[in-house]
Structure 1
């Protein structure tokens, strides 16, 4: 690898970027056309934020987005205006940011004269622990914030050269950009102090500490805002987070070793890892923090000979600090560890390991070609693992089925897979996964609601009702559960109770469009057409592209002999959802009322193309004296 070091020094940064970008695109090719996953919808710009005023809300309205990361959501806002909901654009941008971070890492290591810089950049670019951050659209907060983090670090080194105020201001702006993208980057000033100590053997109050105090203050403020939103807006509170101080120490020790292990041996990576039971009465759990403390003590002792190992450990553990368990983050509900949590922290450890390998190999009397050959072999293995791992992110079914193959006890994977099957119109396939999710994690309102919804779809409202009653009892402000509860009540003939449940859902969340549509449908079926239309109008303002609004609006009007008013809504419903056979059939019937027989026949035929057994469409064609082309 000594040859690798010399060759790395000759590579211009543009050449390194071209190499890394090409390698990264190949490694992530299986994910480039991947669908939206899990909470991508909470990050890709919501319809209510897609306007210029929405961009203002992103910056000035806390709560308009899932977390207050305005620069991240500005990037998503721009991307949505460029390619809308086409996922390939988002994936390519994530790969671009990841490759850019790898090149910035190379530049940073070269600036510090650390050997193996090119190798470190390639390892970071191709390491499979990064797949969760790069292949998952929502984790653009990782890839983009790391670009700002490393740019700020480089700008800080330039400031250290001559202490010019302008360079300090530039570095500070890059750091602020990182904080406004993801607050794990608040660890940067501490990391810069570690780097300064590694370089000089000391930290100067005037040279390093004092100039970084404003950065520490900004990072602390951003962290407090994020922690508050995690607890109050996202849900990082309650029994799932009830760990005492001792348990959190045990957890932190285990988390550090877990991430180091996955970095060194990236086997069995998965989206949801098993959630550990942390128990101070179990003796072996103390081994993790004790081993960490012993290693840290040994590195402190060794620092007189070489400060690099201690610096690497401090960088790794310090960057991981926000996710060690001392601060509650919502994903702890599912697991205490996740690959995307160590994306940023992996940089320092990769740099240390590749530099150590480069120096160590240089001392061996092996042929000159063996170093590059061994490095290429390692990179090929990492790239192959990344290629295989990124294929799991092509759609929700691949992701959660692969997760369950490695972690069958993941209630979250069962819940999300069941939800995906329900969304795909396959409630029969959703049911066993949702039942298993409830068995693994009893009493979780989200699972009770989703299972109740599936039972409603399957015509088993009497079984759904007690589950939904439990959901709203456990979480009285769960608007979606009140809506599903109302649907079950309506099916069971309790219309007044159902309407009350829909109104309760809307009191809690006036923007919950499905509840507004259901309320309009219920009112319309009671003959309260004016009230129903008012609900549909509000639903349309909230989600103008939702076909269900137009379809049910049209049906209510048609049921009350207002077919002329219903017709444009039927047409709009079909335009929004061309493969809905019910909408096609209803539009055909409305057209018949106006003698537009040829158009009606065309819609009946389209309905039968999608659903060949659709009795209503077939009857419509027979009424017109026509046969479906595929009819026997």
Structure 2
């Protein structure tokens, strides 16, 4: 099918676009004409914000099992064991993330135990992820694509994923997750703004004839590449198993339906994701992710999941008191106010569903992306770090994109002039937001200097953290 949609005739029966994540093509009007300039902008602001981690960052908790005390990084035989063996008891790694440990193996032979190289790679991968976010949002014609990518690049909630060497698995898996998604969008023939007709946003609906429900044979190589990249993402960290569900969610957002033609290509991805998830769940239990710390009733699991969702959403909106180890909550079905968290989450989703014809499917799509991507860390599955706390900033690295894109896209639509350009107050506000986020990230990344600094900061914000006192 052609990637150039025809101009639709607008009348009273013309359906609304999916605001704020609509097919509106105004996003290209608030980004540079040269893609490399936008990419350079994202790279520069990311590196500047993370300079403290690059210059003074060291090895901290858990970096010993991943790098400094990991004998598998020392030899070719170790590299073989990284891929061929599962679990420490069998001579492998404690988590089967062979691609992550292979990159660490390469880093060790390049940098030995000098942390600068490890930190620099993490930061560069995060910057590349921000560029990919921009490219994906632009291809989906989301308003404020560059701003959303910049917020993701600079948001302090991401610091734990970037400044912690162990969390290479987050930024690396994120890279493959996003590139796989971008390739899948090419497979679906979702056109970017470059292929859209000229004119102000109000004169066209670019999603009406660019439905990702149809593909042509010439795009099948992108499907194969997407599957390969998805495998790489799973081999880096299995939290990326949510990708096929996200693909279907995007298709529903764009078309309002999911056909068998849409579903069938994702079946191999669902199978791969489920298999990887089951393997990771098994290995987590061998690490000690079992026992009384996880002895919750089904009702308490729901209470915990609801509270976790609102905690992460709150940290995205107001990133104050970020800490390495948060207090571990008492979860009890006997405490009435804990029911408010899941009930509020259900009420929000129900309200967005009922309002989808008026507001568009965008807000519901972003919310479901956020909730769905967090499913592995909502307490339904045993995850070893939950022995110390039910929440951690690095758990929402990818999920954070949902609320970030929703808020930025909504603000962009409000602040756009009729010709698609931004007002001066909107540009000033965007600059202030990025400066504030950049400063918060600069400050937060500075605590990753060494283990002592991490624990000092943790005790300051969470005095009852027993790990920090040991």
Same fold judged by TM-score > 0.5?
A: yes
Q: Distance in 2 between matches of 1:358 and 1:17?
A: 20
SS in 2 for 1:314: helix
Alignment of 1:452-601 (within 5 A): none
Contact persistence 1:43–1:66 (CA under 8 A): no
Q: Distance in 1 between matches of 2:325 and 2:82?
A: 30
> TM-score of the superposition, structure 1-length normalised?
0.63
Alignment of 1:255-270 (within 5 A): 255-270=308-323
Contact persistence 1:13–1:103 (CA under 8 A): no
> TM-score of the superposition, structure 2-length normalised?
0.85
Contact persistence 2:300–2:331 (CA under 8 A): yes
Alignment of 1:7-26 (within 5 A): 7-26=29-48
Structure 1: gaps of 5 or more residues: 416-632
Residue 406 of structure 1: CA displacement?
0.7
Structure 2: gaps of 5 or more residues: 1-23, 190-215
Q: Distance in 2 between matches of 1:101 and 1:180?
A: 17
1:27 aligns to what? 49
1:397-419 alpha-carbon deviations (Å, 9 max, x no partner):
1111111111101112212xxxx
Structure number with the bigger relative contact order (C-alpha 8 A, sep ≥ 6) is: 2
1:103 aligns to what? 131
Q: Distance in 2 between matches of 1:363 and 1:275?
A: 47
Alignment of 1:260-299 (within 5 A): 260-299=313-352
**One of 426, 449, 470 as aligned partner of 1:371:** 426
Query: For the aligned residues, what is the CA RMSD?
Result: 1.8
Q: Distance in 2 between matches of 1:107 and 1:221?
A: 30
Q: Rg bigger for which structure? A: 1
Residue 377 of structure 2 is aligned to residue 362 of structure 1: no
Contact persistence 1:316–1:349 (CA under 8 A): yes
Q: Give the 4+ runs in structure 1 shifted more than 6 A.
A: 363-367
Residue 415 of structure 2 is aligned to residue 391 of structure 1: no
Residue 395 of structure 1: CA displacement?
1.1
2:373 aligns to what? 319
Residue 5 of structure 1: CA displacement?
4.4
Contact persistence 2:73–2:108 (CA under 8 A): no
Residue 364 of structure 1: CA displacement?
10
Q: Distance in 2 between matches of 1:48 and 1:363?
A: 57
Q: Distance in 2 between matches of 1:7 and 1:210?
A: 36
Q: Distance in 1 between matches of 2:72 and 2:238?
A: 25
**One of 405, 419, 429 as aligned partner of 2:460:** 405
Residue 262 of structure 2 is aligned to residue 240 of structure 1: no
Alignment of 1:47-446 (within 5 A): 47-63=71-87, 64-161=92-189, 162-163=216-217, 164-206=219-261, 208-232=262-286, 234-305=287-358, 306-362=360-416, 368-415=423-470
Q: By percentage of residues, which structure has more helix?
A: 1
Q: Distance in 2 between matches of 1:367 and 1:216?
A: 40
1:254-290 alpha-carbon deviations (Å, 9 max, x no partner):
0000000000110111011110000001100000001
Residue 6 of structure 1: CA displacement?
5.1
Q: Distance in 2 between matches of 1:93 and 1:268?
A: 27
Residue 100 of structure 1: CA displacement?
0.2
